[in-house]
Chains A and B, each alone.
Chain A
Amino acid sequence: MFRYIVLNLTFYFKDLSKNILKALFSSFGILFLISFMVLYLSLRQSVKDYIGQKLFGTLDINEIVIHPKTKPGHDVFASKENTFTESLVESIRGMKEFSDVYSLTKINYTTRIRVGMFGYYQVQRVPVFGIDAGYFRNRNSRWKEFVNREPVPVIIPKIGLQLVNTYTAQMGLPQLTEQQLVGFAGSIIISTVNPQGKEMMHEIPGVLHSLSGEIDFPGIVVPSTFVFEFCRKHRMDEGYEVKGYSYIRMFARVKDIKTLPDTTRKLERMGLQVESQSAISQKTNKAMTILDGMFFLLGAVLGLLTIISIFNSYLVIVYNRSYDISLKRVIGVSKLRVIAGFVFEAAFIGAILGVVGYFAGSYLTHLLSSRIAEWIPALKGLELKPVKENLLAYSVVLSIVISSCSALIPAIFASNKNLFRTMGK
């Protein structure tokens, strides 16, 4: 049996090697189909992540984000008008539907940070936000250290690392990693105006606590207790009482997920905007359905053209190999073996093209990723990443299936080739 298998494989691969180039060219459409599929799936995943991450971090299924109502295009961080009133904040905190409520505050005074590195110092105006430490409970392993103390712990967005490294590159200084940046000392400078009208600069030492991917706005985040304490201490600085901070966002966790829709409606009746994972999912799903529909149509047309082209090519291949096939049938090759030979050849070619198509698609994804911000500025934050999970395997399997099925009918025609029938006629 072993000898039988070895001999037949030898003859088979010798046959395949003679015809492989022709067969590869005949099935070239699969390459475009698979590349298109890889590119589309990467784009789809990236768009989905992009939409999902436009809020303050990734929400759990029972979490919601509450915004004050803003006019379209009105950035809540730029205006002091679109904020929560103190009473509204208290109302929300008092709602029994919620197990936890956290507020995001913003210091209304002029704020700056001073950072120094390798003897170089920089002072930069940045907004300063405050949030309750409990918000980071499931999001940051060192959340318990995020409390008001000296130096004040500061959390910055992950993009801060890139900004720092851009700066260090310009200054000819070494690039830093996230771990190296944690613990970095700086100071927060808050300007207030004293009752005499003189500007007062209050410099408070700070230390970098961590970098967070959930901060999607430009600014730094400190413990809310720091914000409340500072503003309370300096509330009379302008000669009259000022609060010094504004509530700009609230986060809440519902006790029972089933109450989420009713709670959302209740908040909306209070004149607020609510974002939840289900709301995000609905919007995302709507966008994805449109995207999927367009690409499915394109993919179907491309797939059909590929199948037809492979079918036609294999008909020509069968015609060209009529003599060989007829003779093999006479010598004792069964119809099933003829069919299996063609289908296996098509599957082999399909597998090769599936792998090549996957890598071509990944390369195109990488190319598009580097150019997309240039071509479509509105999609500047979109990061295209090739989808890795099992996509290579799926690409290979899909191209094997398409190739084999397209070659099946020509293979059946081939199996009916008969030397005696031809001679008799």
Chain B
Amino acid sequence: MLDIRNISMVYGEREILRDVSLSLEEKSIVVITGKSGSGKSTLLGILSGLLKPHTGTVFYNGQDIFQWGDFKRARFRNRTMGFVFQFFNLFPEMTAYENILYPASLNRNISVNVYKEIEALVELLGIGNIIRQYPATLSGGERQRVAIARAVVNNPKIILADEPTGNLDGQTTRDIISLFLRLKEERGITTILATHEKEFVKKADATYTIEGGELIKQDIEKPAAGERHRDRKRSAVIQVDGQKKSGRPLSGRKKTGKGKPVK
């Protein structure tokens, strides 16, 4: 569905991304980890078509999105993608309902069903009681739910989420993770998450890390049902802010190079 080929991105003299390639399948959750400033947000920006890489390109269903004009790319973002950010990024002077409606209003083919869709989303996300309030009066969890509703209102194929749980407490984080999983199962949405959240890593279909500008696939062994948490940790490879999580050696880590599948 979405193919990134040989992307490189330079800011000044700093090479943020070097020869990054990635192929995204439908109905999957892909997690991208890495230190702060490693290039996770930049990669999401390139995937969205808002940042043009210095080399390489992005293909969507075989079409190079950077060959399109700005208008077509904007329409692609509106109809095919949804965005969720760490700091929620809602419009402060629109109510929660208006925030959700706004992306839908950009679609020329908007139908009367959009209102039903919003109702369904409101119910799914449990935000019916705060729908007419302004973002300033909402909690972090409520804002993020509104942001997710906004991201999903146009029935996108892909959600790009940049640290969606970075500002949330534990329980709310678990709720948000469940939501993303439900969106994958119920609506078939592919989610690309830039995150440090372990729970996302555990639930992801594929995990990558950005190190030194390179995208490296992580081979994460999913725990079998009933297996102890300790055993899982032994085999898991988790990069949290570029540091090892515990004193145990990182076993089971296979450095595969530039995004190539593990043999």
- A residues less than 8 Å from B101 (CB atoms): 7
**Closest approach, in angstroms, between the C-beta of B134 and any C-beta of chain A?**
13
Q: Does B106 contact A (CB under 8 A)?
A: yes
A327 touches B110 (CB 8 A): no
Residue of A at shortest CB range from B44? Answer: A420
A334 touches B51 (CB 8 A): no
Residue of B78, B105, B109 most packed against chain A (CB within 10 A): B105
Per-residue interface assignment for chain B, residues 79 to 95, with 1 indicating a CB less than 8 Å from any chain A CB and 0 otherwise: 10001000001010110
A423 touches B77 (CB 8 A): no
Q: Please measure, in the bound complex, the distance between the C-alpha atom of A158 and the C-alpha atom of B160, giving whole angstroms.
A: 82
A421 touches B51 (CB 8 A): yes
Known contacts: A3-B110, A330-B50, A331-B83. The answer to whether A424 contacts B11 by CB under 8 A is yes
B78 touches A332 (CB 8 A): yes
Q: How many residues of A contact B (CB 8 A)?
A: 26
B110 touches A7 (CB 8 A): yes
Residue of B11, B16, B91 most packed against chain A (CB within 10 A): B91
Q: Please measure, in the bound complex, the distance between the C-alpha atom of A53 and the C-alpha atom of B106, giving whole angstroms.
A: 62
Q: Please measure, in the bound complex, the distance between the C-alpha atom of A424 and the C-alpha atom of B44, giving whole angstroms.
A: 10
Q: Does B75 contact A (CB under 8 A)?
A: yes
Residue of B at shortest CB range from A423? Answer: B41
- A residues less than 8 Å from B44 (CB atoms): 420
**Closest approach, in angstroms, between the C-beta of A327 and any C-beta of chain B?**
6
Q: Does A1 contact B (CB under 8 A)?
A: yes
Cβ < 8 Å to B, chain A residues 1-35:
1, 3-4, 7-8, 11, 14, 18
Q: Does A114 contact B (CB under 8 A)?
A: no
Q: Does B45 contact A (CB under 8 A)?
A: yes
B50 touches A329 (CB 8 A): yes
Q: How many residues of B contact A (CB 8 A)?
A: 37
Q: Please measure, in the bound complex, the distance between the C-alpha atom of A7 and the C-alpha atom of B106, giving whole angstroms.
A: 9
B162 touches A4 (CB 8 A): no
B106 touches A333 (CB 8 A): yes
- A residues less than 8 Å from B112 (CB atoms): 3
Known contacts: A420-B51, A421-B51, A424-B42. The answer to whether A336 contacts B11 by CB under 8 A is no
- B residues less than 8 Å from A324 (CB atoms): 91
- B residues less than 8 Å from A11 (CB atoms): 98, 102, 105
Q: Please measure, in the bound complex, the distance between the C-alpha atom of A18 and the C-alpha atom of B98, giving whole angstroms.
A: 15
A4 touches B45 (CB 8 A): no
**Closest approach, in angstroms, between the C-beta of B204 and any C-beta of chain A?**
22
Selected A-B contacts with CB under 8 Å, 14 pairs: A3-B110, A4-B108, A8-B106, A324-B91, A327-B89, A333-B78, A334-B70, A335-B70, A335-B74, A336-B70, A336-B71, A421-B45, A421-B51, A424-B11
- Given contacts A420-B41, A424-B42, 9 further A-B pairs with CB under 8 A are A4-B109, A11-B105, A324-B91, A329-B74, A330-B48, A335-B74, A336-B71, A424-B41, A425-B11
A residues at B contact (CB < 8 Å): 1, 3-4, 7-8, 11, 14, 18, 324, 327, 329-337, 418-421, 423-425
When A and B form their complex, which 7 residue pairs have the shortest distance between CB atoms, in order from nearest? Answer: A332-B78, A420-B45, A334-B74, A7-B105, A424-B42, A423-B41, A334-B71
B residues at A contact (CB < 8 Å): 11, 16, 39, 41-42, 44-45, 48, 50-51, 70-71, 74-75, 77-79, 83, 89, 91, 93-94, 98, 101-112, 150, 162
